[in-house]
């Protein structure tokens, strides 16, 4: 296939995916489910943050998690062990999640429906940014050990998300090179409306604020 044909095929795939995502988003809204896509590089703390967040939300709301992984059901089991409904979405090596996969994952919950449904996307700062997963909000995590200088390296990801969560803040004292001011500045040049949270699942820093943001996004989205 020549290059312009390849670009056209990709554009059509993304357009089909966007249409299916809009339908999915509206259907979840109609049934009262707020859907959040959580993206980050491998090991940034997605599963750990989800568990800490759900701990806060579950007193007054029902929660479910779609755990996407290239292989394995390690994270889906971790979530289930915490007493939270979870289905594994095994992409069999595909580095992003697209709508057909999300629809199948939701069907795997059977009749179960939730106030909050989370997608732990594939650990990757590139491909997931391109594919709308039908979520009402998209967030990305950047952990302190990864370094602050990622905005110019992965601009699509920083551009598409509603919030940036700087995770593992307990490592800040060990990583004096992490320039938080520069990260805020660079991220907001690219995405002026970006909400930014600094959290640690280890110490609990910032988890309350992030949970409050998630609750308020749900209220806004469900109107
Ligand atoms: N110090 C510290 N470690 C953390 C924090 N959050 C997560 N971790 C650790 O970081 C490692 C990776 O955390 P996970 O939650 O599995 O990260 P993930 O992004 O879900 O990883 P993948 O699903 O494999 O991409 C684990 O050893 C966690 O215990 C944190 O706030 N502080
Ligand atoms: Mg994980």
Average pLDDT, the chain: 95
For ligand 1, atom 29, the nearest C-alpha belongs to: 48
Report whether pLDDT(12) > 90.
no
Model confidence, pTM: 0.95
Q: What are the domain boundaries of the chain?
A: 3-221
Cα of 38 vs centre of ligand 2, distance in Å, is 10
The CB of 204 under 6 Å from ligand 1? The reply is no
* Helix or strand (DSSP H, E) at 184: helix 180-190
- pLDDT score, position 111: 94
pLDDT digits (tens, 9 = 90+) for 131-180: 999 999 999 999 999 999 999 999 999 999 999 999 999 999 999 999 99
- Overall fold of domain 3-221: Rossmann fold (3.40.50)
Cα of 54 vs centre of ligand 2, distance in Å, is 14
Which of helix, strand or coil describes residue 63?
strand
Mean pLDDT for 215-222 is 97
b vs e for 95-116, b when ≥16 Cβ sit within 10 Å of the residue's Cβ? ebbbbebbeebbeeeeeeebbb
Report whether pLDDT(1) > 70.
no
Share of the chain above pLDDT 70, in %: 100
Q: Which protein residues have a CB closer than 5 Å to ligand 2 (ion)?
A: 46-47, 75
pLDDT class for 5, splitting at 50, 70, 90?
confident
Distance CA 223, CA 220 (A): 6
């Amino acid at each position: 296939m020549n290059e312009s044909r390849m670009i056209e095929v990709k554009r059509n795939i993304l357009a089909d995916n966007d249409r299916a995502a809009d339908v999915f988003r509206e259907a979840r809204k109609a049934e009262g489910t707020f859907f959040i896509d959580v993206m980050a590089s491998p090991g940034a703390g997605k599963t750990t943050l989800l568990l800490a967040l759900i701990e806060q939300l579950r007193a007054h709301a029902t929660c479910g998690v779609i755990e996407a992984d290239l292989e394995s059901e390690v994270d889906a089991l971790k979530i289930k062990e915490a007493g939270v409904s979870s289905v594994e979405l095994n992409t069999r090596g595909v580095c992003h999640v697209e709508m057909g996969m999300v629809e199948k994952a939701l069907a795997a919950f059977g009749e179960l429906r939730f106030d909050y449904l989370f997608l732990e996307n594939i650990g990757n700062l590139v491909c997931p940014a391109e594919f709308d997963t039908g979520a009402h909000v998209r967030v990305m995590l950047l952990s302190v050990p990864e370094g602050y200088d990622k905005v110019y390296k992965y601009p699509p990801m920083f551009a598409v998300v509603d919030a940036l969560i700087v995770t593992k803040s307990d490592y800040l004292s060990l990583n004096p090179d992490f320039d938080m001011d520069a990260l805020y500045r660079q991220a907001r040049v690219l995405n002026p409306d970006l909400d930014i949270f600094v959290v640690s699942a280890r110490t609990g820093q910032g988890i309350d604020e992030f949970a409050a943001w998630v609750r308020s996004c749900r209220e806004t989205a469900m109107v």
